[in-house]
């Protein structure tokens, strides 16, 4: 399960509207406690796939290293990622699964229809290695109050 | 000037911590990136198949950074280490519909 405050949830959905018709992407930082991933901050990233940004995304690992370091300084870990599917359903694609390597993390996908964020779903990457990995539907618990 | 054989800190990404006793960083004694990674997997053998192919090559989606630089753009795994260096193992993040 992924737990996220309303303002952060809306921020990641809005990111997909801002980059439309291109895919947006970013990192979710927070705490992992067993099956529960709680987001405490959302880091926007640039999409390096300038060759096909409407249906592909890629986060520069250098940006990830920087985000990971800032997170550590604040006691946060990387608990997941998000990206958008412009004019495409909020379901994981074969490419999403092939390119997913962060086991036990959340992969959040927002469909953006004609520039408006529509459905947001989250999937946990389960399994133990590349051969048996799966993206499994998970609940997003959106918290209303800012803590 | 590199001081051979100092302690190097390796940042472990969240999905791989289960193979290193839930630690977020592991310290190894090493003079090069290659020695650091070898030291890491000899200390934590379960990690090996997640970083390397059966042929012993680093998996294509595993990025290794020395401080803020991709080691592929330095001297790859032969890159020498200094005492204050930090290695980060960063699996890639990509996808799309």
Asked whether the beta carbons of A144 and A6 are under 8 A apart, the reply is: yes
Which domains does chain A carry? Answer: 2-143 (3.40.140.10)
Q: Is the pLDDT of residue B3 over 50?
A: no
Say if B91 is an interface residue toward chain A (CB within 8 Å): yes
Reported as a single tens digit per residue, the pLDDT across B18-42 is: 999 999 999 999 999 999 999 999 9
φ/ψ of residue A44, rounded to 5: -70, 145
Mean pLDDT by 10 residues, chain A (147 residues): 98 98 98 94 97 96 95 96 98 97 97 98 95 97 77
Long-range contacts of A123-129 (CB under 8 A, 24+ apart): A123/A92, A125/A100, A125/A101, A125/B15, A127/A103, A128/A103, A129/B49, A129/B50
Residues in chain A whose beta carbon is closer than 8 A to a beta carbon of chain B? 23, 25, 27, 32, 49, 52, 55-59, 61-62, 64-66, 68-69, 72, 77-79, 81, 83, 85, 88-89, 92-93, 95-96, 98-105, 107, 125, 129
With CB atoms and an 8 Å threshold, state whether B93 touches A105. no
- Summarize the confidence of residues B61-86 as an average pLDDT: 91
Task: Find the residue in B nearest to A78 (Cα).
Answer: B14
Asked whether the beta carbons of A41 and A89 are under 8 A apart, the reply is: no
- Picking from A129, A98, A23, the residue whose alpha carbon sits closest to that of residue B48 is A129
Number of H helices, E strands in chain B: 2, 6
pLDDT for position B2: 46
Half-sphere exposure of A1 (CA within 13 A, CB side): 9
Say if B72 is an interface residue toward chain A (CB within 8 Å): no
Kind plus residue range of the DSSP H or E element containing A16: helix A6-19
- Summarize the confidence of residues B73-97 as an average pLDDT: 92
Distance between CA atoms of A58 and A47, rounded to whole angstroms? 5
Could you give the residue numbers annotated as active site of A?
23
Model pTM score: 0.94
Distance between CA atoms of B34 and B77, rounded to whole angstroms? 5
pLDDT for position B4: 56
Say if B60 is an interface residue toward chain A (CB within 8 Å): no
Asked whether the beta carbons of A140 and A8 are under 8 A apart, the reply is: no
Which domains does chain B carry? Answer: 7-91 (3.10.20.30)
pLDDT for position A63: 96
Distance between CA atoms of A38 and A90, rounded to whole angstroms? 21
ipTM: 0.90
pLDDT for position A146: 54
Question: Measured between CA atoms, how close is B21 to chain A, in angstroms?
Answer: 15
SS (H, E, C) B72-84: HHCCHHHCECCCC
Q: Which two tokens stand for residue A122?
A: 């989250």
φ/ψ of residue B68, rounded to 5: -105, 15
pLDDT for position A145: 64
pLDDT for position A106: 98
């Amino acid at each position: 399960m992924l737990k996220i405050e309303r303002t952060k949830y809306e921020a990641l959905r809005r990111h997909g509207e801002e980059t439309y018709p291109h895919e947006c992407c970013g990192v979710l930082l927070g705490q992992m406690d067993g099956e529960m991933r709680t987001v405490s901050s959302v880091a926007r990233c640039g999409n390096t796939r300038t060759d096909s940004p409407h249906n592909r995304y890629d986060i520069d690992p250098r940006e990830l290293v920087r985000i990971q370091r800032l997170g550590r300084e604040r006691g946060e870990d990387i608990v997941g990622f998000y990206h958008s599917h412009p004019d495409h359903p909020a379901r994981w694609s074969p490419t999403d699964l092939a390119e997913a390597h962060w086991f036990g993390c959340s992969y959040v996908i927002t469909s953006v229809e004609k520039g408006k964020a529509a459905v947001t779903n989250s999937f946990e990457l389960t399994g133990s290695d590349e051969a048996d990995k799966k993206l499994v539907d998970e609940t997003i618990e959106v918290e209303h109050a800012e803590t | 000037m590199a001081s051979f054989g100092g302690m190097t800190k390796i940042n472990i990404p969240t999905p791989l911590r289960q193979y290193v006793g839930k630690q977020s960083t592991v310290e190894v004694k090493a003079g090069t990136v290659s020695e650091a990674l070898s030291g890491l997997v000899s200390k934590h053998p379960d990690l090996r198949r997640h970083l390397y192919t059966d042929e012993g090559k680093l998996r294509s989606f595993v990025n290794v950074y020395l401080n803020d630089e991709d080691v592929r753009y330095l001297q790859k795994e032969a890159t020498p280490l200094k005492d204050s260096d930090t290695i980060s193992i960063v699996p890639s993040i990509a996808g799309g519909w």
